Structure 1
Amino acid sequence: MSPPLRVIFAGTPDFAAESLAALLASHHDVVAVYTQPDRPAGRGRKLTPSPVKALALKHDLPVLQPATLKASEVREELAGHAADIMVVVAYGLILPRAVLETPPLGCLNVHASLLPRWRGAAPIQRAIEAGDKESGVTIMQMDAGLDTGDMLLVKRTPISATTTSGELHDRLARLGGEAIVEALDSLAGEGLDATPQPDTGVTYAAKLTKAEAELDFRRPAVELAARIRAFNPWPVAWCALEGDRLRLLMARTGLPSAGEVPVPPGTLLAHGADAMRIACGEAGDQVLEVTRAQLPGGKPLAVSELLKARAERFAPGTRLGHIDKEATP
């Protein structure tokens, strides 16, 4: 077994907590945890610790929550932990060059994509939205750029036609924990080869916004189906149904039935056995099959159950379309 490393961990959400848990289960020594300041959450807007902070406190680890790492006293405190390496996972703060150069082995990042594809804020969702067939985690030696550092270790996982962002997030979080422990073991032992990222194949994963979630049925069926899975569980794809927001949670591409003629995009067609069929594409000649959806105030349901309970709302010929956003709570 390689000698243990003294590790500073920096991360905030559930995805990062998986890597922290893996490190805590390893023989490496987590000497301090950095995470974002507590944020208001829930209906009462009560200040709530991040998942990483909650896990760190459970293990009696020192927790630091600076608003920035740029202040000299913050950098001095970080250096005082005498760590060999810093592990950064979805932390949410930019690391100044002085911080990157503080630990002798530098700073490693667990990034949820196969770099250089999907650098940036939302690599999991953008991979599904783009129709990628696989994703993975990259352990990267951090530099001053945006996810541009040398690659030390890569683990891959497939994306199927039914994979949602929630499912891929959980899978990559576990994979990230395995990968970072493996990387630290190797660095403490025989070392790891650093591979510069290629200049070709670079894409950027822009941050998700709620405005993207409203579907435009003029788009191709394959694009709409991918977007629905990419936006599950957040921000959740939706469309208007007679003044309400119908949330769409799972979908696939379909084929026109015999005798069906193109109708305006967004028009409900004759339903399938387990799916709500919606005309889409510029000419309305493509079919999107939605298999899971949710009405306002209701639970997420298989469309077969939704149609049984509220068949009158989903009569073939009904048009799904835009509603006034300002009038929508």
Structure 2
Amino acid sequence: MKKIAFATCVHLGLSCIEEIYRIGGSLDLLITLKDEKAKDKSGRIYLDEIANEHDIPLLKIDNINDQEVLSSLKEYQIDWLFIIGWSQIAKKDVLEAPTLGCIGMHPTLLPIGRGRAAIPWAIIKGLKETGVTMFKLDEGVDTGDIIGQGVIKLDQNTTATELYKKVDDMHIALIAKYWHDIVSNNVILTKQSSADATEWPGRKPEDGEILSSMTMDETDKLVRAVTHPYPGAYYKEKERTIRIWSAKTDENDGEIKLSDGYLIPIDYEIEGNYGR
């Protein structure tokens, strides 16, 4: 049986670790950030409890590329290192420290959608399906060989909140599906097709602005794409900003005029000083 380590500092990673133990697996080393780091990061969790419960060595670090990480991977003779829910980029030394390599996940069907903001882009682009890819990490951005994928269907009503949950669930499902292959060294790696690859850029909160030049379709997709857990879509009107979490469109009437109709906010907040 191969020796496995897991690096995470967010809830999704903890859910994956819990799934490993639920299906009868075990881990040989846990890696997380030092307690004082990333305290305000969304979804930040601590691994002390699960490490104690299952008697797993726990390494707390500043950076995934620190020398102590390399030393620990060697000390515990780690074959595979999962890096899931981790914002720092692992460099060549870390990627090559486990005897078989490192495993990551990406919330698209690679090679489609390499890069950032995978959940909002899938909705904005009107995709009929997306998914999660488990793959062997290399020095590129989401370019490594594929271990397995899970497909997630989308429709014209899918919100970021719903897709985020489905992506989390698919991470856990892929862990369960491929765990035995990973620990028994039966992983089949499939090279990505560079000809089919697309890259999606990062998104900023200001990219959620609704403009009157936009169509009803574009606006509907934007509202659904950047609702919770993202910063939300917004419309600027004189001295105030309307932050919109859900809305509907109408061809004939509504609060916000668009190029081919109207937007009617349903769940929203008013920001700014209106009427001063």
TM-score range, shorter chain: 0.7 to 0.9
Q: Distance in 2 between matches of 1:48 and 1:224?
A: 26
Match of 2:242 among 240, 246, 255: 246
- Amino acid corresponding to residue 28 of structure 1 in structure 2: G
Match of 1:25 among 2, 22, 29: 22
Deviating more after overlay: 199-208 vs 106-115: 199-208
| Structure-1 residue corresponding to 2:47 | 53
Counterparts of residues 1-329 of structure 1 (less than 5 Å) = 3=1, 5-37=2-34, 38-41=37-40, 50-51=44-45, 53=47, 56=50, 59=53, 61-189=56-184, 191-233=186-228, 234-254=230-250, 256-257=251-252, 269=253, 271=254, 278-281=256-259, 286-290=260-264, 292-296=266-270
SS of the equivalent of 2:227 reads coil
Q: Distance in 2 between matches of 1:124 and 1:183?
A: 23
- Amino acid corresponding to residue 10 of structure 2 in structure 1: P
Q: 1:73 to 1:89 in 2, by over 3 A?
A: closer
Gaps of 5+ in 2: none
Q: Distance in 2 between matches of 1:55 and 1:121?
A: 31
Structure with the larger RCO, 1 or 2 (CA within 8 Å, 6+ apart):
2
Larger radius of gyration: 1
- CA positional deviation for 1:253: 4.8
SS of the equivalent of 1:200 reads helix
Root-mean-square deviation (CA, aligned residues, Å) is 2.8
Contact 2:144 2:191 in 1 (8 A): yes
- CA positional deviation for 1:151: 0.8
Deviating more after overlay: 117-126 vs 56-65: 56-65
Q: Distance in 2 between matches of 1:144 and 1:221?
A: 41
| Partner deviation per Cα, 1:219-259 (whole Å, 9 max, x = no partner) | 222222111111111111111345332221223554x34xx
What count of residue pairs does the alignment treat as equivalent? 270
- CA positional deviation for 1:15: 2.8
Q: Distance in 2 between matches of 1:36 and 1:155?
A: 29
- Amino acid corresponding to residue 220 of structure 1 in structure 2: T
Q: 1:69 to 1:53 in 2, by over 3 A?
A: same
Contact 2:8 2:84 in 1 (8 A): yes
Contact 1:36 1:50 in 2 (8 A): no
- Amino acid corresponding to residue 287 of structure 1 in structure 2: G
- Amino acid corresponding to residue 245 of structure 1 in structure 2: T
Q: Distance in 2 between matches of 1:102 and 1:242?
A: 56
Moved over 4 A (4+): none
Q: Distance in 2 between matches of 1:191 and 1:244?
A: 58
- Amino acid corresponding to residue 109 of structure 2 in structure 1: L
Contact 2:20 2:179 in 1 (8 A): no
Q: 1:34 to 1:210 in 2, by over 3 A?
A: same
Q: Distance in 2 between matches of 1:147 and 1:296?
A: 39
Q: Distance in 1 between matches of 2:221 and 2:49?
A: 34
Gaps of 5+ in 1: 42-46, 258-268, 298-322
- Amino acid corresponding to residue 258 of structure 2 in structure 1: C
Q: Distance in 2 between matches of 1:102 and 1:279?
A: 57
Deviating more after overlay: 144-153 vs 6-15: 6-15
Q: Distance in 1 between matches of 2:92 and 2:180?
A: 25
Identity of aligned residues (%): 21
Q: Distance in 2 between matches of 1:58 and 1:162?
A: 43
TM-score by length of 2: 0.85
- CA positional deviation for 1:291: 5.3
